[in-house]
Structure formats: C-alpha cells, structure tokens
C-alpha cells in the first residue's frame, strides 16, 4: 500500500467503533492497511531519536499486552489523543487476545500525532519473544507470517528510552551496569534486534529487586538523597526509581514491577 492510500483517520475511527461493545470484538482491517501502518510508523521512528527528549505534561503508560479493551479504557480515562500527550513504555503485544488491534491503534496514533504520541520498545517487541507468547500466532491466524515479519521490521526501529524535562528517565526494563552516560544509548544503531546481553538487553529486561543491597522502599515515593530507592504501583504496571546521581537524573519510570509485584 502506498503512503497516500493509508487512510489513518478511517482506520482510527474503525478501531474506536468497538467502544462499548463486548470485550474481544474483532476490528476488521485489511493486510494492506496494517502493513501501511508498520511501514509509515517505522519511518517516523527512524526520523526521531532513539533516546527521546520530551516535555511534560504527558501521561506515562505501562504494559498493555494485547488487552485492547483496557487500552480503550485508558484513553477514556486519560483522554483520547490529541486531548493528552502520551508515552508508552512497551510490551504492546503477546498474552492478550487482541494484540493486533492494540498495536494498530497505537501505531495509527503515532502516525497522526508524531510529536505528541510516543512509543518505546519493550522486551516483547522482539521476534524471539513474541514468536512464543502469542503475537506470531495471532498474525498467522488472522493474516500471515509475512505480516508478522513486517511488524518485526517496525519493532526493530522503536526508540529505547526517553527523558522527560531532563529529570525523569523512562524505559521498559531498567538500568544496566554498562550505562555510564546517555550518549551510550544515543549511539545504538537501528534497526536492531535485542541482543542476549549488554546495554540494550538490560534496558528492556532488567527488573527491580528489593533484595539487592542498597535499595529500599520509599513509603511516600520521594527519592532518597544518598542511594537508589524504588516504589511500585501495580495498578499502573510501573515502577518509579530514584537513582545514580552521575547520570544527573532524579527519577526513573519503567514498565516493570519488583519481583514480589505487590
């Protein structure tokens, strides 16, 4: 499908028609439309930095995992774009039954509002993971394997992290012992698969652990002046951490909960 043939407004309207319907209602989309979303959004991802520098106000959202009804409820609560600016922290596909509707609405909003709607990469935006946990099977059942590969090409170009107001560092996973400066993230080349080790792997896979020495829970959520602290919010599937002063940031938002997931 040529870019001029992709009617994003029509597709968004169709994706939103199921609001109020029974959960799980399938949205009819053509293969050409879905492929067009992947191709156009991939171009936008590559035109923007791998480390986004954003300004508040914007709403930060954790894992969606194919729960399309929950995504619609989220927008009903926070405001449908462009009423509010959004940053999603990854894991759009797998596990849930409507990964295609979920990722297609998110990509469509990215295309329509490229400077106000942002998507980071999660560890499930990786072929070796979503090949196993459901997205591959959904693509194969509703379309074909070739379209799944087109999604993979798109996912390999997603930004990895974001900084809000020069204070809040956002990524899907967590920190890496290899991370000494933000410039290291900026030097990661795209498109890229997720390696088994190293900085990119850690940013997408690291989870907070309250048992690691030097980390303590903050009851009020305020950062400790001397050492990293974490506070989890299971209702939003995100964790806030205040961490290393040498990175010159105050807090971190990531789409992972501590191991006890309280």
Q: Which residues pair with 167 in a beta bridge?
A: none
Q: Strands 161-164, 168-171: parallel, antiparallel or unpaired by DSSP? A: antiparallel
- The two three-digit tokens of residue 153, written as one number: 């090409």
Q: Which of 65, 124, 172, 246 is catalytic?
A: 124
| Location of structure tokens 């191991």 | 259
Q: How many other C-beta atoms lie within 10 A of the C-beta of residue 57?
A: 8
Q: How far is CA 134 from CA 89, 128, 178, 200, in A?
A: 19, 11, 31, 23
| Location of structure tokens 């209602």 | 25
Q: Is 124 a catalytic residue?
A: yes
Do 19 and 4 contact (CB within 8 A), yes or no?
no
Helices 99-112 and 31-47: crossing angle in degrees, nearest 10, is 50
Query: Across the chain, how many H-helices and E-strands are there?
Result: 9, 10
The one-character DSSP state at 247 is: G
Distance CA(152)–CA(124), nearest Å, equals: 11
Distance CA(262)–CA(260), nearest Å, equals: 6
Supply the residues annotated as catalytic.
124
């Amino acid at each position: 499908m040529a870019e001029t043939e992709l009617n994003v407004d029509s597709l968004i309207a169709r994706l939103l028609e199921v609001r109020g319907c029974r959960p799980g209602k399938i949205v009819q989309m053509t293969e050409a439309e879905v492929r067009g979303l992947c191709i156009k959004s991939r171009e936008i991802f590559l035109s923007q930095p791998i480390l986004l520098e954003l300004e508040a106000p914007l709403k930060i959202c954790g894992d969606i995992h194919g729960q399309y009804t929950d995504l619609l409820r989220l927008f009903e609560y926070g405001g449908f774009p462009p009423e509010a600016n959004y940053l999603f922290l990854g894991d759009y596909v797998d596990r849930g039954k409507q990964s295609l509707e979920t990722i297609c609405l998110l990509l469509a909003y990215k295309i329509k509002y490229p400077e106000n709607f942002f998507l980071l990469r999660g560890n499930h935006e990786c072929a070796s993971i979503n090949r196993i946990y459901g997205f591959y099977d959904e693509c194969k059942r509703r379309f074909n394997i070739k379209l799944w590969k087109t999604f993979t090409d798109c996912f390999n170009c997603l930004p990895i992290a974001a900084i809000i107001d020069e204070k809040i560092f956002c990524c899907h996973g967590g920190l890496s012992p290899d991370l000494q400066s933000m410039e290291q993230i900026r030097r990661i080349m795209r498109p890229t698969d997720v390696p088994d080790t190293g900085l990119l792997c850690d940013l997408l896979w690291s989870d907070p652990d309250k048992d690691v020495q030097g980390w303590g829970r903050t009851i009020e959520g305020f950062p400790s002046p001397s050492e990293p602290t974490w506070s989890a919010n299971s209702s939003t599937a995100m964790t806030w951490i205040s961490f290393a002063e040498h990175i010159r940031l105050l807090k971190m938002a990531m789409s992972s909960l501590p191991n006890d997931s309280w």
